[in-house]
Structure 1
Amino acid sequence: MYCTKCRELSVLMLVLFACIFSSCKKEYEQANDLVLELNEVSLSTDSTVVVSVVNGNGSYEAVSSNVDVVTATVNQNAIVIKAGTNVNNAEAVIAITDRYYQRANIHVRVTKNVALVLSKDSIVLNAQQGSDTFSVKSGAGNYKVSISNSLIAKTIVQDSVIRIVGKQAGQTTLTVSDQLGKTKTIPIRITGADYAFAFGTSYFGWADFKSIAQVDPTIRQNKQITFELTCKISGYRGLQTFLGLENNLIIRGKNDDYKSTHPIEIAGLHDSIMLLSTSNFNLNEWMNIALVVDCDKQNVSDKYKLYINGIADPLIVQQNKGTHTTVDLSSSGDNNLFEIGRASGQDFRAMQGTVSEARVWTVARTAMQIKDNMCSLTESAPVGLLARWKFSAGVNTNYIQDVSGGKYETNLILSAVSGGGYGQVFAPSNLFVERGCPK
């Protein structure tokens, strides 16, 4: 009898324990993840910050890894963190747990409260691709820099030293912040003049659109494109390169100086399509050349249009074995590069001339758009502008800045014509000469 009752009581307790355990286990399995508003904070000495619990299970506890650096208390769903009074450049971790032992950490940095002071209160650059350097004289460290208009300048930050590099003439502001959230803003003004670059036969430029194609495949299948070049040619040379993609779509001079005619030649798809301008181009005169390709057009005369100084110049078909269905800007016979001033790594293909501006568009520009923007781009939000190079650096440089302001920045790299290579070289500032405009 006694044993039977004991056995019944034992069974009852086991059942009760199992129910409690099952309920707790189910409740634990339904526990929320512990999520905090912040997992990193920076404080100045003797200051306080509050971090909220975004998600959790209540009954929160906070423990500091070093109470001399920082302490933490809990007020419902708020973690109140207070830095020590005699602490500088120290770190600690606050461990937060809830009723189900979910855990989250807050990494805390404590820095002495110092003013943010810069070595300069303004920056003026007298060349469009000029540069200047300033430093943070005092501050809490971990400096970050932002520019209000990234079309005007860019920054290079190394610890407390900040270098400003110009892109084009204009004004903007630069803001420096430290890890305590203190900020300092200074004005930047770039006053450099507009120039043109004297390529001569010594330099050429190339752009790597294939790097864009790795993240944006549409660059390989353009239904429309426009190439533009504003230049002054100083000598005739057969097949001298103006700009484009060798074996794909390129604009070049046709004849050597002893020939009686000097048309502009368009060559594409390994010379499957060969077109000549009706007009000859003159030496030592500024001209704007614009090639527009619309692959949706069927007739060659509609698909390929050439404009000289904003006026349509009828193209003469030399060869038509095939035309573009799309234009792949990442493909050429020159390491898949887009080039200005040389092609095929051959010295004799160098351009004899000076260039003030070049543009690449992924739309078919109209005659009016071309004519109205030959010497300066007046449109505030140009559609389809992939790259724009203004040859106005005004300093020793190994690149021409892309100032298109588009999604991608593709600078034009300067290289030496001789040797057939593509290595980046510095061109001297005296090659930036007076800029002209077609009449």
Structure 2
Amino acid sequence: MKRKLSFLFLSALALPFFMVSCSDDKEEQEVKPATDLVVDNNSVTLLQGDEITVGITSGNGDYYVKPFDESIATATVSGNKVTIKATENSRLEENNRIETTVLVVDGRKKVARIQVQVAKLWDLTADVPEEGFDLFIGEKKMVKILTGNGNYEISIPEGADKYIEVGELSGQVFPVTAKFETGAEPVEITITDKKGKTVVIPVVVNIVDLTLKANEAVFAEPDAESQYIEIEKGNGGYSFTYQVGDGEPTTEATVVEATEKENLITLKPKARGDVKVIVTDQKGSSKEIAVTVNPYEIKLEDNATSLTINGFDNSKEIAISRGNGEYQLAPLTDDNRKYLKSAEIDENGHLKIEANWLGTTTLIITDAVGKKLDLPVTVMPMATFLDSDRCFKIDIKKFVEGNQALDNMQQLTFEMVFYPTYSRALQSFIGLEGVFLLRCESNGDTDLRFEIATKIHKDPNNLNGDKYNDPRFRSQQKMGNDRQGNGKWYHIAIVFDGTQGSTKEAYKMYINGVRETLTPASSDYEDVRPDPYLVLSSVSGDNALMIGRSGNSEFRLGYCAVAQARMWKVARTAEQIKEDMCKYYSQEEAKANTDLLGYWIPSNGVGDISVFKNYGSAGDGLDAVVYNNGKSISPVTFPDRYKRVECPHSY
């Protein structure tokens, strides 16, 4: 007696699908590629008047159907289901059959074709050999009914469910899964349609030797994604043991964990090491998989691949987030020590670095298994924000008292890398009031030009005689700043050369390495002979070399971020200025350059500073002392107020 497993012809396996509607989100469609349109049955057979449902398993939404010949078959679509109905009393061909095609189209113009064959009566056939087929335990085979007359019933003998499992019919396809060996006699699957047609499929389940598609797996690290190995043949009931080295196999998964589902082995790494995974089926057939899980690469927190320290008085700490323990830092090299005061890894795996000077160097970290991380460390230049509350004062009068030879300067160059933040007339950036000063003009509060303010005597040979009234030379460029929304970084050099015969050549300005055409504020001194030298001790105002202020006035402040400033006792050439306008000299380079009297790099990156050192050859006699701003100024400390520097070469 047979136990029947009956399934209606119209039943279909509900499969998940993903639809993208072109009307819902056109922008998303432009970004994502269209999904192929796939149906679960692309060839169906019907009797006249019968219908069948075909499922759409993937596509892009907005589906519609187009039958080629509605005198043979019609079609409708609802959601992801296409219903095809054979027309009653359609004219058949001489063999009492006829066929047509139904197109399924989605909103992205992807197309699937369904071949529809209609007849008065079909022979019942299936896509299997006449002698049936063999399976190994756990193997699944999909059986397709090629032709038939609908309302299919599938049956197996009583008790045969010990050997095979027959799954649910979807359209004209059903799965058969092997459970236990059948021996010499096959199990017969019988298919019957509504016209009484039958077909018998013999199935033999064999005991086989275990065969795997691969016998090794290598993982990049213990956190790597799982890998999969297919069981090509086997006898089900799989178990796993693990052998490390020459030790005894054990069920404890320390290096990798193996599981099996539907003849697919999943290998999930757990720890670094080598292990043999021994796969054994219920009939005792076994195979080995050689697995290597490589050590972790050394990683820092947030997956940082480099470090930046803002300022040379600053420090940085970062945790080693992943690795293999016993971390060591290679001894600091001479190059490291140029830029770093110290670097160490503590017992908690934290890297601690203290900066020394501006620039980039590389540290090397190793761990217990010899993994290595080359870590670039950059000590970043920072700019101090000068605002209405802070300026820098350099006591030039006291300096020249002890250096009389430098009081009368036949040549002088000031350079400054800065970012103006505000627009206001008569802002002063660097220089000596009444001697030689870089500022902006006095014409309103917007669209201001840079200018050199200086002193020129009407008789260059009589420096106690009459002077021209406030001689100034203005740039063509206008000052960009945050207030006007056009702020940017500048390198500006102003040059005095008393050896020249006219003011046109004696006074020069370079903006971002390019010489500027200067316009005198008055024609009186446009092309007269300049003074042969500048007298530094004749500075007025606050009686000092100032950065961010001049004129002993709270209304002559320089609102800007200062990256660096230089004072040279020579008239620097265009080539010299352009070559190193963004360069940061080392402390040793600056000290050894006798022409570079003043070199101020306020890149400390920390607050509560009262003095920014002079790294130039004149030493601490030209240190920049932090002062407040007001009519009367006094020493204060500088707050933690910095901005990262960009090179003006980018303009």
Normalising by structure 1, we get a TM-score of 0.55
Counterpart of 1:235 in structure 2 is 422
Read off the aligned partner of 1:316 and give its amino acid letter: T
2:405 match: secondary structure: helix
Encode CA deviations 1:64-96: one digit per residue, 9 max, x unaligned: xxxxxxxxxxxxxxxxxxxxxxxxxxxxxxxxx
CA distance in 2, matches of 1:153, 1:424: 30
Q: CA deviation at 1:421?
A: 2.3
List aligned pairs for 1:14-413, cutoff 5 A: 128-129=312-313, 168-169=357-358, 193-255=380-442, 259=446, 261-269=447-455, 271-283=469-481, 284-319=487-522, 320-321=524-525, 323-377=530-584, 380=589, 382-396=593-607, 397-406=609-618, 409-413=621-625
Encode CA deviations 1:128-182: one digit per residue, 9 max, x unaligned: 3469xxxxxxxxxxxxxxxxxxx9999xxxxxxxxxx9984589xxxxxxxxxxx
Read off the aligned partner of 1:393 and give its amino acid letter: N
Partners of 2:409 and 2:534 within 8 A in 1: yes
Q: CA deviation at 1:393?
A: 1.6
2:564 match: secondary structure: strand
TM-align CA RMSD:
3.1
CA distance in 1, matches of 2:470, 2:437: 12
Counterpart of 1:95 in structure 2 is none
Read off the aligned partner of 2:405 and give its amino acid letter: T
Partners of 1:291 and 1:307 within 8 A in 2: yes
How many pairs does the alignment contain? 265
Is 2:608 aligned against 1:422?
A: no
Q: CA deviation at 1:361?
A: 0.5
1:392 match: secondary structure: coil
Q: CA deviation at 1:328?
A: 2.2
With over 3 angstroms needed to count, the CA separation of the structure-2 counterparts of 1:365 and 1:420, relative to structure 1, is same
Q: CA deviation at 1:422?
A: 3.0
CA distance in 2, matches of 1:265, 1:204: 20
Partners of 1:393 and 1:432 within 8 A in 2: no
2:555 match: secondary structure: helix
CA distance in 1, matches of 2:355, 2:635: 19
CA distance in 2, matches of 1:424, 1:368: 38
Q: CA deviation at 1:227?
A: 0.6
Counterpart of 1:61 in structure 2 is none
With over 3 angstroms needed to count, the CA separation of the structure-2 counterparts of 1:312 and 1:169, relative to structure 1, is closer
With over 3 angstroms needed to count, the CA separation of the structure-2 counterparts of 1:405 and 1:129, relative to structure 1, is farther
With over 3 angstroms needed to count, the CA separation of the structure-2 counterparts of 1:299 and 1:316, relative to structure 1, is same
CA distance in 2, matches of 1:130, 1:413: 20
Larger Rg: 2
Name which of structure 1's ranges 302-311 and 242-251 shifts more when overlaid on structure 2.
242-251
Identity of aligned residues (%): 27
1:371 match: secondary structure: helix
Read off the aligned partner of 1:387 and give its amino acid letter: G
Encode CA deviations 1:259-290: one digit per residue, 9 max, x unaligned: 5x421121112744221112222221001110
With over 3 angstroms needed to count, the CA separation of the structure-2 counterparts of 1:191 and 1:258, relative to structure 1, is closer
CA distance in 2, matches of 1:205, 1:216: 21
Q: 2:643 aligns with which of 424, 433, 437?
A: 433
Read off the aligned partner of 1:416 and give its amino acid letter: N
With over 3 angstroms needed to count, the CA separation of the structure-2 counterparts of 1:298 and 1:404, relative to structure 1, is same
With over 3 angstroms needed to count, the CA separation of the structure-2 counterparts of 1:378 and 1:427, relative to structure 1, is closer
2:426 match: secondary structure: coil
With over 3 angstroms needed to count, the CA separation of the structure-2 counterparts of 1:129 and 1:268, relative to structure 1, is same
Encode CA deviations 1:35-60: one digit per residue, 9 max, x unaligned: xxxxxxxxxxxxxxxxxxxxxxxxxx
With over 3 angstroms needed to count, the CA separation of the structure-2 counterparts of 1:217 and 1:166, relative to structure 1, is farther
CA distance in 2, matches of 1:170, 1:354: 20
| Structure 1 unmatched runs, 5+ | 1-124, 132-150, 155-164, 172-189
Read off the aligned partner of 2:613 and give its amino acid letter: Q
Encode CA deviations 1:389-409: one digit per residue, 9 max, x unaligned: 012122221221111244664
Partners of 2:542 and 2:552 within 8 A in 1: no
2:521 match: secondary structure: strand
With over 3 angstroms needed to count, the CA separation of the structure-2 counterparts of 1:309 and 1:191, relative to structure 1, is closer
Read off the aligned partner of 1:268 and give its amino acid letter: T
CA distance in 2, matches of 1:168, 1:208: 26
Partners of 1:167 and 1:401 within 8 A in 2: no
CA distance in 1, matches of 2:391, 2:578: 26
Q: CA deviation at 1:345?
A: 2.3
Partners of 1:386 and 1:408 within 8 A in 2: no
CA distance in 2, matches of 1:306, 1:126: 31
Read off the aligned partner of 1:420 and give its amino acid letter: K
Read off the aligned partner of 2:577 and give its amino acid letter: I
With over 3 angstroms needed to count, the CA separation of the structure-2 counterparts of 1:436 and 1:191, relative to structure 1, is closer
Read off the aligned partner of 1:280 and give its amino acid letter: K
Q: CA deviation at 1:191?
A: 8.1
1:202 match: secondary structure: coil
With over 3 angstroms needed to count, the CA separation of the structure-2 counterparts of 1:235 and 1:374, relative to structure 1, is same
Q: CA deviation at 1:423?
A: 1.3
Counterpart of 1:51 in structure 2 is none
CA distance in 1, matches of 2:576, 2:538: 27
Partners of 1:168 and 1:403 within 8 A in 2: no
CA distance in 2, matches of 1:221, 1:375: 29
